[in-house]
Each structure stands twice: as C-alpha cells, then as structure tokens.
C-alpha cells in the first residue's frame, strides 16, 4: 500500500503509526490497516493536529470497533483512536462526565456505584462513549438521547465545539452531526437510586444479553437497523438466512441479525454475506434492510485516493 510519510503531518505529542493493523482493534477481527493511526496525547494535541494537518488529509475516527466493518484494503488517510487518557469518568450529583474513550460498561458501573440510575443500559453496549454518542447507542428501551446533557467535540479545523441536545439530531442509532466532529467527552444525567438495586438491574440485563446474543464472538453487533414496524432478525429468519455462510463468515444461529467471523473471514466475506441477506429479505418480504454496522475503508484492489 502507498503510505503517506508521517513527516508530511504536523508534529504531535501523541503517536503516528503508519500501516497500522486494525484487525486487533475491531470486534470482527477482520479487515485491513489504517494508512496512519494517530493516538493523540490529549485534547489539545488532537486540536493542534486537526488545525495544522494538510487540507487534503482524510481523517476518520474509530472507537473500539464494535460497530465497524473495516474493508480489506484498509482505511486511507489518518485514523484517530483516542487512547485511555481520554477515558476519565467523574460524578457530580446525578451527573456523570465521561471522556469519549471511556468504555460504556465502565460508565454504567461507576454510575451504579455512585447511586445514579438510568445509565444501566450502557452496561450492555460493548463500545466507547464516542461511538455511543455517534450511534445514539441503546438497548432495552433506552438510548443515549434519554440521558444526554451535553457533549464536547473537536471539529475538522481544530475548534472546540459544545453540543446541546438540540445540536445532536438524535434519531434511531444515529446522531445527525457534522462528519468532521470528533467527540472528546459528554455529560449524562441520571436519577438517584440505591446502588444495589441498580446493580441488580444491570446484572439482569447482562444475563438477558448473554442468553440471546452471541456477545462473546467476533461480531459487529446488530448488522441491520430494525425497519419501522419490523424486527430485522425476524425478516432475516423468515428469509431462511439463519446459519447462512459465506467463506468463514456466518449468520449467527443464536441471533440472526448478528454476523460472525467464525475463524479468519475476510471483510469481503462478511460484507457480501450481509448483501446476500439484504437481497434475500427484499425478495421474501419486499423490505430493504439498512446497514447499522458502519462499513469503512476500501476493498484491496481499490486505488487509495488521498
Ligand atoms: C456483541 C455486540 C453487542 C452490541 N449491542 C448493541 C446494542 O445493544 N445497542 C447498540 O446501540 N449497539 C450495540 N452494539 C454496537 C456497538 O457496540 C455500538 O454502536 C457502539 O456505540 C459503538 O462504539 P465503538 O466505540 O465501538 O465505536 P466504533 O464501532 O469504533 O465506531 C462506530 C462509529 O462511531 C464513530 N466514532 C467512534 N468514536 C468516535 C468519536 N470519539 N467521535 C466521533 N465519532 C466516533 C466511528 O467513526 C463510527 O462511525 C453491539 C456490538 C456488539 C459487538
């Protein structure tokens, strides 16, 4: 692959890694590398990079890749991954402030320990707060929108932006915000309850998930959004896709809106299995499934434009 030299990029205190494997950083454990992986030292370092980068630099951001399918040719340009230093979580009254790299499950646990209810659902989402904000992540009837107070992000030219609820454009599994925004943190609001009661609800949620979803496999979570009035898994099941395989990618037997990398599936196997499902569901029910998983990057043969 043609990799742009890192010295064409502004000096940073964090690290640049050229041709960085991403497959260990995403849940599917499949797909190609980042042309350059950038781990900023802190918010100021990220802002400086975005301000000073050459204008034609493509910048994207990954969390822990629990909703990502990275194509086999990798991701051109600079891929930002916020390190643990962006993962601080603090509590003030019934408010929780979390850095964008904080794991949702940790935020849920810290809220529970502090006697703040309403954030339990985050325990079931295996991503970061940055990914949860972008995806309006949710489960068991609650989503980010319901607890959101404000978020802070850096825009494509390094400016700090504060977003109020009206700025987030939350819809089902999506925040309608400008593509160049990189979230660095958010404030959430819950309500008072006994830590023991909150923990009990959280544990129940984890048990229910483990019983119904292949949460301990190489997967990207729910592959398709539920179309209005329908459950994606039911449409997939009715179209006869449960267990269907393409290469080493498989439609989960346990929950057929989940695709699984059974061993060493390529991203192309996983994506074409998804497209096969879409075609079968369309033929069977007339309904077009919409991808919930974000497919990013390029196929191996594609020329990288920078
Ligand atoms: C087993 C399993 C179960 C799941 N269950 C659920 C569920 O119940 N409910 C649900 O909603 N989701 C679920 N998911 C999907 C996934 O966990 C969520 O979408 C999660 O919010 C993604 O977070 P992430 O950090 O992994 O983001 P990634 O997958 O890395 O990225 C997802 C998107 O967010 C963007 N992004 C990430 N960080 C930032 C940032 N700092 N600033 C701006 N954009 C950013 C990325 O560019 C990308 O567009 C599940 C996934 C798995 C594997």
- Residues having CB within 6 Å of any atom of ligand 1: 27, 60-68, 82, 100, 124-128, 130-132, 134-135, 137-139, 173, 182-183, 213, 215, 219-221, 294
Give the predicted TM-score (pTM) of the model.
0.95
Ligand 1 centre to CA of 8 (Å) is 31
201 is known as an active-site residue: no
With contact defined as beta carbons under 8 Å apart, do 304 and 298 qualify? yes
Report the nearest-CA residue for atom 12 of ligand 1: 137
Which atom from ligand 1 is nearest to the alpha carbon of 86? 41
Note whether 116 and 139 are same-domain residues: yes
| pLDDT tens-digit series, residues 154-206 | 999 999 999 999 999 999 999 999 999 999 999 999 999 999 999 999 999 99
| Together in a domain, 164 and 254 | no
Measured distance CA(3)–CA(6) in Å, rounded: 9
pLDDT single digits (tens) 25-72: 999 999 999 999 999 999 999 999 999 999 999 999 999 999 999 999
Residue 303 has what pLDDT? Answer: 45
- Alpha carbons 18 and 294: distance in angstroms, whole number: 23
Q: Is 235 left (phi over 0), alpha (psi -120 to 50) or beta?
A: alpha
Among 125, 173, 178, say which to mutate for ligand 1: greatest number of ligand atoms within 8 Å of CB. 125
Domain that holds residue 32: 6-84
The answer to the question of residue 122 being in a domain is: yes
| Integer Cα distance of 168 and 189 in angstroms | 16
- Is 173 known to be catalytic? yes
| Residue 303 belongs to some domain of the structure | no
Task: Express each pLDDT in 89-142 by its tens digit.
Answer: 999 999 999 999 999 999 999 999 999 999 999 999 999 999 999 999 999 899
Same domain, 73 and 149: no
The tokens for 100 are 């964008």
CATH code of 19's domain: 3.30.43.10
CATH number for the domain spanning 190: value is 3.30.465.10
Farthest CA pair distance, the chain: 56
Which of 128, 135, 138 gets mutated to test ligand 1 (max ligand atoms within 8 A of its CB)?
135
Q: Are residues 97 and 197 in the same domain?
A: yes
170 and 228 housed in the same domain: no
Marked catalytic residue, from 120, 143, 271, 292: 292
- Distance (angstroms) between ligand 1 centre and the Cα of 29 equals 15
For the domain that residue 273 is a member of, what is the CATH number? 3.90.78.10
- 68-70 and 294-296 beta bridge pairing: parallel
* Active-site residue flag, 292: yes
Query: Is 102 inside a domain boundary?
Result: yes
Domain presence at residue 305: no
Number of domains in the chain: 3
Give the residue from 47, 66, 84 where a domain finishes. Answer: 84
Quickly state the pLDDT bin for 6 (edges 50, 70, 90): confident
Please give the pLDDT value at position 306.
39
């Amino acid at each position: 692959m043609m990799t742009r030299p890192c010295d064409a990029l502004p000096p940073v205190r964090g690290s640049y890694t050229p041709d960085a494997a991403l497959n260990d950083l995403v849940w599917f454990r499949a797909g190609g590398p980042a042309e350059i992986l950038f781990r900023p030292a802190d918010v100021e370092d990220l802002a400086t990079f975005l301000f000073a980068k050459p204008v034609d630099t493509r910048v994207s951001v990954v969390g822990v890749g629990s909703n990502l399918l990275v194509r086999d040719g990798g991701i051109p340009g600079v891929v930002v991954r916020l390190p643990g230093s962006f993962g601080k979580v603090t509590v003030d009254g019934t408010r929780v402030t979390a850095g964008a790299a904080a794991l949702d499950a940790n935020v849920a646990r810290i809220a529970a320990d502090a006697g703040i209810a309403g954030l339990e659902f985050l325990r079931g989402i295996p991503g970061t707060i940055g990914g949860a904000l972008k995806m309006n992540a949710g489960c068991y009837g609650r989503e980010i929108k319901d607890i959101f107070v404000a978020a802070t992000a850096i825009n494509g030219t390094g400016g700090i932006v504060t977003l109020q609820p009206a700025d987030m454009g939350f819809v089902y599994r999506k925040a309608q915000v400008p593509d160049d925004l990189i979230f660095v943190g958010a404030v959430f609001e819950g309500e008072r309850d006994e830590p023991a009661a909150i923990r009990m609800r959280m544990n129940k949620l984890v048990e229910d998930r483990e019983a119904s979803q292949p949460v301990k496999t190489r997967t990207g979570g729910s592959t398709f959004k539920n179309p209005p009035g329908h459950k994606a898994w039911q449409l997939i099941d009715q179209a006869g896709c449960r267990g269907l395989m393409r290469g080493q990618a498989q439609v989960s037997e346990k929950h057929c809106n989940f695709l699984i990398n059974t061993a060493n599936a390529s991203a192309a196997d996983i994506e074409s299995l998804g497209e096969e499902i879409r075609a079968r569901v369309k033929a069977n029910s007339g309904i077009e499934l919409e991808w919930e998983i974000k497919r990013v990057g390029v196929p191996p043969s594609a020329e990288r434009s920078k």
